[in-house]
């Protein structure tokens, strides 16, 4: 079903930052990235924002809110899903899933809302699979986050299909040939490099990483994971594209290790083995010349890895690692010289990014799935019960605000000037002044 959209503005390019963040001030680096990529401060075009690492240059971001206070608008979202909202040119894009009336088949949709008032502008049913297979209780059939660039929206539903739509909601292509058996559903979001749309397909057997032609959906390359000996091969990670020593590397954690691929050909460049790890979820972070990645779900560890090299670099490229407070689901965040992360059971950690020395380790309260963001000089965490915690960055633990939204939330924030967009179980919220 296509609802008539409002007349949209001219398509705006939203290019992804591909280089490492090396300076002490990551806020300044994010601003420089936006200028270089012709993004606007209000654009949040993919999972974890314009850099893919949770940083926003937005100003006057709300510090306090509740279910009724400082809520500019609140809109019910058709269907269900945990994809995070993305924002480009005052338009919000989401995906959702529901069961078709009177059947057991699914309806997988993309939708657009006006960011100013929350009005639903259009909704397009993209796929109608007969079944979606089983999902984890914390997952949904619409968990991967859309990606918007150059006037096109790329939506990904894992083994159920990937598609491209224009900004009016018209489907340009669909890709359904990449079949694999998922475990607990899908979770990883795509990344774009030139004409290549790339994502991981880490199912129960024969996991692989793939690149599609962004213009046609045709498979450009498909590379099997080198983890044949593992009993459990499934994962849910989102890749990160970096440039190291002049070479582009697609960093894609999966079962058994962290892997780097040539984005042009899919050739594996290097790997760091992490034993029998599986069900890897968080997106990597790249700062201070180090990659920060997670392993495993039941017994997670947090690694700092030097990129580069060829083949197996496990013995030479791991700078530090820790199991204390390591996340299974939320991605990490680097601000200045510190790296911040929160475990799924709510233990927050601040450590020196280069050495791993822990500055503080504190209970934030509740369970966590959403990834934190850095905006307006503050760190924003969100737990699964809908409580947002705002922290002051630094080596001393300081909570600035604790805000109860009153609705379950597993999706990550999108950020705009004076605004946070938060997806709850039933509603999308715009937090900020009306």
Residues in the chain, overall count: 434
pLDDT at position 118 over 60: yes
Mean pLDDT of 386-395: 98
Res 242: pLDDT:
97
What is the domain count for the chain? 1
Q: Which of 150-159, 192-201, 277-286, 418-427 has the lowest mean pLDDT?
A: 277-286
In a domain, 10, yes or no: no
Task: Name the band, by pLDDT with cuts 50, 70 and 90, for residue 41.
Answer: low
Mean pLDDT of 243-251: 97
Higher pLDDT pick, 98 / 26:
98
Q: Is 12 a domain residue?
A: no
Domain membership of residue 7 (yes or no) is no
Domain span including residue 176: 26-431
Tens-digit pLDDT profile for residues 65-105: 999 999 999 999 999 999 999 999 999 999 999 987 777 78
Which pLDDT belongs to residue 187?
82
Using CA atoms, how far apart are residues 312 and 317, in angstroms rounded to an integer?
9
Task: Please say if the pLDDT value at position 32 is more than 50.
Answer: no
pLDDT of residue 335: 98
Of the candidates 129, 27, 38, 28, the one whose C-alpha atom is nearest the C-alpha of residue 88 is: 38
Among the ranges given (54-58, 115-119, 294-298, 426-430), the one the predictor scored with the smallest mean pLDDT: 294-298
Residue 1 clears pLDDT 70, i.e. is over it: no
- The band of 139, judged by pLDDT with boundaries at 50, 70 and 90, is confident
Gyration radius from the chain CA atoms = 20
Residue 1 lies in a domain: no
Short-list 260, 258, 199, 207, CA closest to 232 = 207
Residue 34 has φ and ψ, to the nearest 5°, of -65, -40
Residue 40 pLDDT level (bands cut at 50, 70, 90): low
Confidence of residue 140 (pLDDT cuts 50, 70, 90): confident
Return the higher-pLDDT residue of 116 and 182.
Answer: 116
The mean pLDDT of 396-403, rounded to a whole number, is 98
Q: Which pLDDT score, from 0 to 100, does residue 297 have?
A: 80
Mean pLDDT for the stretch of residues 252-273: 95
Report yes or no on 405 lying in a domain.
yes
Answer yes or no: is pLDDT of 21 > 50.
no
pLDDT tens digit sequence for 211-245? 999 999 999 999 999 887 777 887 788 999 999 99
Q: Is the pLDDT of residue 255 over 60?
A: yes
Question: What pTM value is reported for the model?
Answer: 0.89
- The phi and psi torsions of 261 (rounded to 5 degrees) equal -125, 150
Element housing 418 (H / E): none
* Secondary structure class of 432 (helix, strand, coil): coil
Is 20 part of a structural domain of the chain? no
Give the per-residue pLDDT at 120.
98
Least confident of 34-48, 56-70, 187-201, 349-363: 34-48
pLDDT for the residue numbered 183: 77
Chain mean pLDDT for the chain? 88
Q: Are 284 and 291 in contact (CB under 8 A)?
A: yes
In a domain, 11, yes or no: no
Confidence band, pLDDT 50/70/90 cuts, at residue 33: very low
pLDDT for the residue numbered 227: 81
Is 19 inside any structural domain?
no
How much is the pLDDT for 36? 36
CATH, residue 38: 2.130.10.10
Percent of the chain with pLDDT over 90: 75
CA geometry: angle at 240 spanning 236 and 245, to 5°? 145
pLDDT band at 27 (very low <50, low <70, confident <90, very high): very low
Strand partners, 101: none
Instruction: Indicate if the alpha-carbon torsion angle 383, 387, 392, 395 is positive or negative.
Output: negative
pLDDT of residue 303: 95
């Amino acid at each position: 079903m296509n609802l008539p959209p409002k007349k949209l503005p001219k398509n705006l390019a939203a290019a992804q930052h591909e280089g490492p963040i090396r300076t002490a001030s990551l806020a300044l680096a994010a601003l420089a990235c936006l200028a270089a990529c012709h993004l606007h401060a209000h654009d949040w075009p993919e999972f974890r924002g314009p850099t893919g690492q949770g940083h926003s240059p937005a100003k006057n971001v709300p510090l306090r809110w509740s279910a009724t206070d400082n809520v500019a608008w609140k809109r019910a979202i058709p269907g269900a899903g945990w994809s995070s909202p993305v924002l480009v040119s005052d338009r919000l894009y989401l995906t959702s899933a529901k069961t078709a009336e009177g059947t057991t088949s699914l309806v997988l949709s993309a939708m657009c809302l006006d960011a100013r008032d929350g009005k639903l502008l259009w909704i397009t049913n993209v796929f109608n699979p007969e079944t979606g297979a089983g999902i984890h209780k914390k997952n949904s059939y619409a968990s991967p986050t859309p990606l918007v660039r150059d006037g096109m929206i790329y939506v990904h539903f894992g083994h159920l299909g990937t598609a491209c739509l224009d900004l009016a909601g018209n489907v340009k292509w669909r890709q359904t040939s990449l079949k694999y058996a998922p475990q607990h559903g899908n979770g990883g979001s795509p990344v774009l490099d030139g004409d290549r749309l790339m994502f991981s397909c880490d199912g129960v057997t024969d996991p692989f990483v793939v690149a599609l032609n962004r213009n046609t959906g045709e498979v450009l390359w498909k590379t099997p994971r080198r983890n044949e000996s593992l009993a459990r091969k499934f994962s849910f990670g989102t890749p990160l594209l970096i440039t190291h020593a002049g070479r582009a590397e697609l960093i894609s954690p999966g079962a058994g290790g962290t892997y780097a691929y040539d984005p042009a050909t899919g050739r594996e460049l290097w790997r760091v083995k992490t034993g029998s790890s599986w069900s890897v979820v968080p997106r990597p972070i790249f700062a201070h010349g180090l990659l920060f990645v997670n392993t495993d779900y039941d017994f997670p560890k947090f690694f700092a890895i030097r990129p580069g090299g060829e083949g197996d670099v496990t013995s030479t490229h791991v700078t530090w690692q820790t199991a204390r407070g390591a996340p299974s689901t939320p991605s990490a965040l680097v601000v200045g010289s510190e790296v911040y992360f929160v475990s799924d059971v709510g233990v927050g950690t601040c450590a020196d990014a280069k050495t791993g020395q822990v500055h503080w380790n504190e209970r934030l309260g509740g369970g966590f799935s959403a990834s934190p963001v850095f905006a307006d000089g503050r760190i924003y965490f969100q737990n699964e019960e809908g409580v947002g915690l705002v922290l002051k960055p630094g080596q001393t633990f300081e909570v600035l605000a604790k805000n109860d939204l009153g609705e379950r939330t597993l999706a990550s924030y999108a950020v705009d000037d004076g605004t946070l967009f938060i997806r709850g179980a039933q509603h999308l919220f715009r937090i900020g002044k009306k």
